[in-house]
Structure 1
């Protein structure tokens, strides 16, 4: 989501964050964030998105958390609150799948250099035998970016079978192609190792212990009214999507997918990012080793700006903006979500929107 409003917003946030006096409890705090508020409110008035939640943290302290707008452009629709749940889209790749892989690597149950076929023998066909776990995380496995599937298949089993039998478009390691299919493959590796579905593994080993009580795949019926609507689907599901995953491939995989499917709040994501910034420790529990975090959040090669799963700041056009340090890492999501962290400034910014409402063809953020 390399978007003009998002870049402008983060530029302003990090101009503010770079001022050492800003984080002192003075009246200038309120004045400085008024500028940020005005950018978001202008985006809403320009129909870039109906609503948003912004959270900013510095030195492990939340310095700004605010909700803006309404669920839809109907003024009578519910107001967004800081507890509103958003469809994270591709931010699921890092908060969910990538973190699960990090946990398994720390447990020595998974190795970056392992070939996928070690865990998924059914993947061993059509030239995929040399694809490694690292290739999947770097998005250079050679697998295609995505396939529609919803207009071809009707079950999750059919989708997974198709992915297991894909022919790569390039040699592994030869080219960066951001691939949903690669992350779904990593999901199946994780599930094969753990003997659990991805959502169950993450709930037991990450979300519940961290107190991320509003983070989940497939929100239950009683939570759906607290979920931000995404799209008025007029080509397949033919309804307003609220509390069900926006991404078609994830929906076909019953809402639990390696590339999308997570729902969360800004406050829950803040707990997660605080844990990462604290070198994997949160309230006395070590979730991930510091060296694993360092490895995954740094740029891996000149082929792309990618870390392992995570993205890093790139010189041109990055949604990280101009004022992030070179150590910054983050990710964005198609529905209008973004998390970016600067460990040098000990600062992170979470921006959650529903920019795909009422249609993904809304390009006012581009």
Structure 2
């Protein structure tokens, strides 16, 4: 049973985050990740924001800071792609139940003509999760064509299977509807007005000095050209900006984005979403495993949130070792950015670490959590 704490004064010094600091240092010492940046938002206030470890995994790496920029991997799906689609639904009359092939006609091949935008968002499209397109594709056009020519694994709407390919198509739909790239849409709609100066696809200039490295790509086809910085190889083929991956960010920037979501879609007097839109995209329908573009806390078995986050919690994970989780019941959010894939993605210790982190944060705030 979760017990809400009393109304503590919301000053960081009122909470003892020593257990979180100890756990994060353990993560560094046990090689869960070279380093990480953590932010905790509670009742509208950022009450913890610290960095641990280093940004690299070689000799004499630099320390990690809260300003360190990380490849946030699949958080791109929620922060960029889903957020943009939310605005298109609100402002441009995009219908989630329209077939995706209405906007990308070639996607309707091989039985995919009935797949809706909603099914792409909640991963019930029946598309395959992922493919190593480096073996057959050398241009963005070839990769998109490969997905459009693919067959289904399951009948749409009958099973949930997380799919990068579905979000690659969603990114393409955004471009078709707006006439602008996903990168341009995100910059105009969110990163610029929110002041997210350390968030972008294909980072350049001063940001490059603050980026935490990820894994090494030994299979990149040099005939394609210079490899974009993004860790995800398919996103690299797509030019570094795609609907499923490619965004780089810092915890400081994601704090601003998350506060906006927790404040019913408003930040600094600017409205980005209606409150009803946030509810529509993040609520659980029955026993659904996923919301629209957002993950939901698992009701059974393993949950990356740990046991203390409520069943109404929503968020997303990123392959590189990133996560963002919001518990609306507790008015609590935890952002974690790391580069656990440096030097190798074979390091999967983050799976056991994530629940411990979220549970430890909740306990530091006075919540009573069931032991894992």
Relative to the length of structure 1, the TM-score reads 0.90
Change (3 A) 1:27 1:111: closer
Q: Secondary structure at the match of 2:135?
A: coil
Structure 1 residues without counterparts, runs of 5 or longer: 1-14
Q: CA contact under 8 A between 1:229 and 1:242: conserved in structure 2?
A: no
Q: Secondary structure at the match of 2:325?
A: strand
Candidates 226, 230, 249, aligned match of 2:214:
230
Instruction: Indicate the residue corresponding to 2:368 in structure 1.
Output: none
Deviation (angstroms), 1:166: 1.6
Q: How do residues 46-195 of structure 1 correspond to structure 2 at under 5 angstroms?
A: 46-74=30-58, 76-195=60-179
Alpha-carbon separation, structure 1, partners of 2:349 and 2:84: 34
Q: CA contact under 8 A between 2:191 and 2:197: conserved in structure 1?
A: yes
What is the Cα-based RMSD across aligned positions, in Å?
Answer: 2.0
Alpha-carbon separation, structure 2, partners of 1:120 and 1:97: 16
Q: Secondary structure at the match of 1:267?
A: helix
Instruction: Indicate the residue corresponding to 2:269 in structure 1.
Output: 284
Q: Is the deviation greater in 33-42 or in 222-231?
A: 222-231
Deviation (angstroms), 1:24: 4.8
Q: What do the CA deviations read for 1:9-44 (whole angstroms, capped 9, x no partner)?
A: xxxxxx9x9543665548552xx2111111110111
Instruction: Indicate the residue corresponding to 2:364 in structure 1.
Output: none
Structure 2 residues without counterparts, runs of 5 or longer: 352-372
Q: Is the deviation greater in 228-237 or in 130-139?
A: 228-237
Q: CA contact under 8 A between 1:49 and 1:353: conserved in structure 2?
A: yes
Q: CA contact under 8 A between 1:89 and 1:260: conserved in structure 2?
A: yes
Alpha-carbon separation, structure 2, partners of 1:243 and 1:65: 30
Deviation (angstroms), 1:51: 0.4
Q: What do the CA deviations read for 1:303-325 (whole angstroms, capped 9, x no partner)?
A: x4201010111122111211112
Q: CA contact under 8 A between 1:228 and 1:243: conserved in structure 2?
A: no
Change (3 A) 1:26 1:365: closer
Instruction: Indicate the residue corresponding to 1:349 in structure 2.
Output: 334
Alpha-carbon separation, structure 2, partners of 1:36 and 1:21: 21
**Alignment size in residue pairs:** 346
Q: CA contact under 8 A between 1:140 and 1:177: conserved in structure 2?
A: yes
Instruction: Indicate the residue corresponding to 1:269 in structure 2.
Output: 254
Deviation (angstroms), 1:64: 0.5
Q: CA contact under 8 A between 1:224 and 1:243: conserved in structure 2?
A: no
